[in-house]
Amino acid sequence: MLNAAPTDLTGKICFVTGACGGIGASTVEHFSALGAKVYATDIASEFDGPAEYRPFDLLDEQGLQGCLDWISDIKPVVLFNNAAIFDMGSVLDADLASFDRLFGVNVRAFYAIMQATAQSIVSQESKGSIINLASQAGHRGEALVAHYCATKAAVISYTQSAALALARKGVRVNAISPGVIDTPMWKDVDALFAKFEGKEIGQKKREVGRAVPLGHMGSPEDVARVAVFLASDQSEYLTAQTIGVDGGNVLR
């Protein structure tokens, strides 16, 4: 008889950061629809979704500590570590203030949240899954996105190190590298490209969509479905991997 592992998440406590964005919100919905108890956070004061929500500013030391304390209280066994910010600037003009902001959220807070979740899972002597959000930008530098690319490369590296450190403790750690995903954030990204490359508003978004081998941008649901796979028992022999959800943009 086929021993098919379920994608059902009933009974799993899941924690989602960056929950107000397109990818985070879609993942909350997918996790909840499959029976998980979902807790979520973002910087926005309110969240309209099937999760217990608290806002935290992860660049603020008290906000970050409040988030870590909440993790200790709720004891998640699944983490969707998605909170991140974006900015542009080449090595000639990307200043240290931008560096501090991007590394503050995308690496420092990301790492602290991953560590706190791992400690919680291990303390419960439970199995768990940590899913970190990288990016296709973490696999290659881009002339105008120096700091952001570096932060996402760090996410991939930390994912591998954490996976090896936690493997014998029953904690799997993997990453997802989205490509160009059609989320509300792309309005701001497109405006920055218009500024730095002298393009019309909307032009960059059309260009990157057409350049994808599959011919179009992805959707938040494309990423959320892979998150479900990594959160579920379907992926119980998968760790230390970074899965590209990019329509073929990056060949690994």
Q: What is the CATH number of the domain that holds 135?
A: 3.40.50.720
With bands split at pLDDT 50, 70 and 90, how would you rate the model's confidence at 252? confident
Q: Does residue 5 lie in a domain region? A: no
Q: Does residue 142 lie in a domain region? A: yes
Q: Is 49 helix (H, G, I), strand (E, B) or coil?
A: coil
What's the average model confidence in pLDDT over 209-214?
Answer: 97
Contact 173, 113 (CB under 8 A): no
Catalytic residue (one of 39, 53, 148, 158): 148
Residue 217 has pLDDT above 60, yes or no: yes
- Do 119 and 206 have their domain in common? no
- Do 189 and 77 have their domain in common? no
- Alpha-carbon distance of 192 to 201, in angstroms, equals 9
Q: Does residue 252 lie in a domain region? A: no
- Do 151 and 204 have their domain in common? no
Q: Does residue 250 lie in a domain region? A: no
Predicted local distance difference test score (pLDDT) of residue 34: 97
Residue 27 has pLDDT above 80, yes or no: yes
Q: What is the pLDDT of residues 135-159, one digit of tens each?
A: 999 999 999 999 999 999 999 999 9
Give 5's DSSP letter. Answer: P
**Domain that residue 202 falls in:** 182-217
Residue 3 has pLDDT above 70, yes or no: no
- Do 80 and 189 have their domain in common? no
Sign of the dihedral defined by the CA atoms of residues 187, 193, 195, 200, in that order: negative
- Do 17 and 48 have their domain in common? yes
Residue 2 has pLDDT above 70, yes or no: no
Q: Does residue 2 lie in a domain region? A: no
Predicted local distance difference test score (pLDDT) of residue 4: 62
Q: Does residue 39 carry a catalytic annotation?
A: no
What's the average model confidence in pLDDT over 177-189?
Answer: 94
Predicted local distance difference test score (pLDDT) of residue 214: 98
Average pLDDT of the residues of the chain: 96
Contact 16, 40 (CB under 8 A): yes
- Do 96 and 23 have their domain in common? yes
Domain count, the chain: 2
- Do 195 and 109 have their domain in common? no
- Alpha-carbon distance of 77 to 200, in angstroms, equals 45
- Do 79 and 191 have their domain in common? no
- Do 67 and 134 have their domain in common? yes
Q: Does residue 4 lie in a domain region? A: no
- Do 137 and 29 have their domain in common? yes
- Do 53 and 121 have their domain in common? yes
Q: What is the pLDDT of residues 191-203, one digit of tens each?
A: 998 999 999 999 9
pTM above 0.85, yes or no: yes
- Do 231 and 142 have their domain in common? yes
Q: Does residue 89 lie in a domain region? A: yes
